[in-house]
């Protein structure tokens, strides 16, 4: 299931992010520093050093927005979120086909996070750079994604995906992983569809009894499928 979440960041937030990320103080490092063996072979980009005040500040803003974003919560059912990271592609940089690692060690701790979902939050105007499409393989074939600045896509971390070469300008993005309370993609997709239907019913004068029954079904499925330990 691929879900586009529009308008995660507003205009003022985007302006702040770009100012900080384009400044001379931005601590960019070789993106291969955080890649596994497979990814390091095909990864050519820059990343904001994780353990820096700038990375923590900007990542904190993203998390604060997502904590109260109903579409993000409905689509991911988050149990834990990896601290957001930031990357930059320019001058032909790319990230070849790969699958994200299944488990990541959370920086500064001994905690581990299962990567059920991957998320990419676009920060640059798509007209400001050529290339840089996020291409994701799913059951319907290859989906090519290049969103407006401030929009985000969430997709299964088990998907084969890549970022095509950036041949003009610079592609800036925030990315992270989510461990969901429901690890199975198909079950999570059914819950998402059910929740969206309940929300649409709540916005109408539909049958109140039907809303109660559907809501009960949703929570009973959550009890059956969720892992909150």
φ/ψ bin of 141: left (φ > 0), alpha (ψ from -120 to 50), beta (otherwise): left
Using an 8 Å Cβ cutoff, are 115 and 88 in contact? no
| 3 state DSSP class of 33 | helix
- Binding site annotation covers 94? no
Are residues 13 and 121 in contact, defined by beta-carbon separation less than 8 angstroms?
A: no
Q: Phi, psi at residue 192, to the nearest 5°?
A: -65, -45
- What b/e string do you get for 156-181 counting C-beta neighbours within 10 Å, with b at 16 or more? bbebebbbbbbeebbbbbbbbbbbbb
Residues 6+ apart with CB under 8 A from 111: 105
Q: Has 69 been labeled as part of a binding site?
A: no
Which residues does the annotation place in the binding site? 98, 100, 161, 171
Which residues does the annotation place in the binding site for 2-oxoglutarate? 171
Which residues does the annotation place in the binding site for Fe cation? 98, 100, 161
């Amino acid at each position: 299931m691929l879900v586009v979440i529009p308008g995660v960041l507003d205009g003022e937030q985007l302006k702040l992010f770009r100012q900080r990320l384009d400044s001379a103080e931005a601590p960019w490092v070789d993106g291969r520093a955080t890649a596994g063996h497979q990814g390091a072979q095909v990864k050519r980009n820059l990343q904001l050093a994780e353990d820096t005040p700038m990375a923590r500040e900007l990542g904190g803003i993203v998390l604060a927005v997502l904590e109260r974003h109903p579409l993000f919560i409905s689509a991911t059912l988050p149990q834990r979120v990896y601290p957001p990271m930031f990357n930059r592609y320019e001058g032909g940089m790319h990230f070849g086909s790969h699958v994200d690692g299944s488990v990541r060690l959370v920086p500064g701790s001994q905690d581990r996070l299962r990567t059920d979902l991957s998320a990419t939050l676009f920060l640059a105007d798509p007209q400001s750079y050529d290339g840089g499409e996020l291409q994701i393989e799913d059951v319907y074939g290859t989906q090519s994604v290049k969103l407006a600045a401030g929009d985000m896509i969430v997709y299964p971390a088990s998907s084969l995906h890549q970022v095509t070469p950036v041949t003009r300008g610079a592609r800036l993005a925030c990315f992270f992983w989510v461990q969901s309370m429901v690890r199975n993609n198909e079950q999570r997709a059914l819950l998402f569809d059910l929740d969206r239907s309940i929300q649409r019913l709540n916005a109408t004068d539909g049958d109140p009894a039907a809303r109660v029954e559907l809501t009960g079904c949703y929570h009973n499925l959550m009890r059956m499928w969720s892992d909150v330990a």
